[in-house]
């Protein structure tokens, strides 16, 4: 029988890796919800049309990266490759734009793209997303970027750069595209096969190409072609970011890989950069709701790559501070006759909101204490020979003794030691 293994590009997560992933998600959600972004849960499977209309036919995602299949009824379904299109589908389906014209939501979960697996790029990966609808004010652009900045700083990632650009609106983008296409056609022999196709499909996407950087080094950029309204919007975004105390680098070559973006786009990199190092990315998408069948609605959002940020945490060897003190208590069972009493103690601890994990099994006290220490528990609780309970501080090496039937003394000690 063949050995069973995970699919290439789909990883299991356990131990320290999973802990970092969950901490990244928790800190990101806490930051967003503290700023009044409501949580929403979205399905991981959508009708394929959601992404064909939302993400855009010319994007790499739609052209070659989607996991698309037919269900038993012959309908074309797709595992979500990104979060925004599915969010807009929910936004329209449930009439959220009617009940609250201005709304802010956040979500997290797995995304799926059929790409070549490599460092920083998986076929199943996780994102935390934020979407703000109904406001075109440039201060909202700055707010989203600031929240992304605060999330990374709360995680202990102080060494990163925010790259900011504007890709204008349809009015100023069309004349720019003509200039860009003329440049690309003149230099097409220096472009890769994908970029030669992009000349027709979406010429702005050549700025995303990692192969053609030298070939497009002297290409015209959108910032030099902004209309007056887009220029004023971009200048206001920069002014608001300055007021928020957020430093940015102006990068005229950021366009993002999805068709729905307009005006503000941004990406956040670790200082040393790298092809697959983008930690957070997003931008404004004022025409997307209309494209997907809704009324004209302003919108902006970002996605944070959970695995990439967790990997950076591992490299920095820092754990984010969630701002909540949770005592880590292991309750060790030794003899069969003591187990009912320990079950009652555990129930009381959990009812009191104290984090505690029972340690069952036939091993002796020394072996179980080694296990508790290796798992990083701060405290271990176990019965004494005299029928009482011993609470050991694994960090300090000190211990206290108290009555087995009461939990008040336990909580008093774990909160004060």
In this structure, what token pair is assigned to residue 414? 């774990």
In this structure, what token pair is assigned to residue 163? 């790259």
Instruction: Report yes or no on 215 lying in a domain.
Output: no
Q: What is the pLDDT of residue 323?
A: 47
Instruction: Report yes or no on 1 lying in a domain.
Output: no
Same domain, 306 and 338: no
| Phi, psi angles (nearest 5°) of residue 323 | 80, 15
Cβ(163)–Cβ(268) under 8 Å? yes
DSSP secondary structure string for all residues of 104-143: EEEEEEEEE-----BTTB-SEEEEEEEEEES---HHHHHH
Q: What is the pLDDT of residue 317?
A: 61
Instruction: Report yes or no on 216 lying in a domain.
Output: no
DSSP secondary structure string for all residues of 288-319: HHHHTTS----EEEEEEEHHHHHHHHHHHT--
Instruction: Report yes or no on 27 lying in a domain.
Output: yes
Does the pTM exceed 0.85? no
pLDDT digits (tens, 9 = 90+) for 130-147: 999 998 899 999 999 999
pLDDT digits (tens, 9 = 90+) for 33-51: 999 899 999 999 999 999 9
Same domain, 362 and 265: no
Q: What is the pLDDT of residue 405?
A: 66
Same domain, 306 and 333: no
Radius of gyration of the chain (CA): 26
Number of continuous H segments (helices) and E segments (strands) in the chain = 14, 16
Counting the structural domains of the chain, the total is 2
Q: What is the pLDDT of residue 325?
A: 47
Residue 344's domain comprises: 329-414
Instruction: Report yes or no on 95 lying in a domain.
Output: yes
- Report, as ranges of residue numbers, the positions in the chain whose pLDDT lies below 70: 57-58, 60, 256-259, 273-276, 317-327, 405, 415-417
Is residue 242 classed as helix, strand or coil in its secondary structure? Answer: helix
CA angle 102, 104, 106 (to 5 degrees): 165
Same domain, 159 and 275: yes
């Amino acid at each position: 029988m063949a050995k069973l293994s995970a699919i290439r590009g789909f990883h299991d997560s356990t131990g320290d890796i999973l802990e970092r992933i969950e901490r990244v998600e928790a800190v990101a959600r806490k930051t967003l919800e503290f700023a009044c972004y409501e949580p929403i849960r979205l399905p991981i499977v959508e009708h394929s049309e959601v992404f064909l209309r939302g993400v855009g036919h010319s994007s790499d995602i739609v052209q070659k990266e989607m996991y698309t299949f037919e269900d038993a009824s012959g309908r074309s379904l797709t595992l979500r490759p990104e979060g925004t299109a599915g969010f807009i589908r929910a936004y329209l389906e449930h009439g959220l734009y009617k009940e609250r014209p201005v709304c802010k939501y956040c979500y997290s979960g797995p995304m799926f793209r059929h790409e070549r697996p490599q460092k920083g790029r998986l076929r199943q990966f996780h994102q935390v997303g934020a979407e703000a609808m109904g406001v075109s004010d440039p201060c909202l652009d700055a707010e989203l970027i600031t929240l992304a900045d605060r999330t990374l700083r709360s995680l202990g990632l102080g060494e990163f750069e925010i790259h900011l650009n504007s890709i204008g609106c349809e009015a100023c983008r069309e004349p720019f595209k003509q200039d860009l296409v003329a440049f690309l056609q003149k230099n097409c022999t220096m472009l890769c096969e994908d970029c030669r196709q992009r000349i027709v499909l979406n010429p702005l996407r050549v700025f995303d190409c990692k192969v053609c950087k030298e070939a497009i080094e002297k290409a015209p950029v959108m910032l030099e072609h902004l209309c007056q309204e887009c220029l004023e919007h971009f200048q206001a975004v920069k002014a608001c970011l300055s007021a928020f105390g957020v430093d940015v680098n102006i990068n005229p070559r950021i366009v993002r890989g999805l068709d729905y973006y307009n005006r503000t786009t941004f990406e956040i990199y670790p200082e040393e950069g790298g092809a697959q190092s983008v930690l957070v990315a997003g931008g404004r998408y004022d025409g997307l709701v209309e494209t997907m069948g809704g009324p004209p609605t302003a919108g902006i959002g970002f996605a944070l790559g959970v695995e990439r940020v967790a990997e950076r945490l591992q490299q920095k060897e820092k754990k984010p501070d969630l701002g909540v003190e949770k005592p880590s208590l292991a309750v060790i069972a030794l003899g069969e006759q003591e187990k009912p009493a320990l079950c009652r103690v555990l129930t009381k601890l959990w009812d009191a909101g104290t984090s505690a994990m029972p340690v069952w099994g036939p091993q002796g006290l020394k072996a179980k204490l080694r296990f508790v220490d290796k798992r990083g528990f701060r405290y271990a609780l176990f019965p004494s020979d005299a029928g009482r309970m011993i609470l050991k501080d694994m960090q300090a090496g000190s211990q206290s003794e108290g009555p087995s039937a009461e939990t008040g003394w336990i909580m008093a000690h774990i909160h004060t030691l």
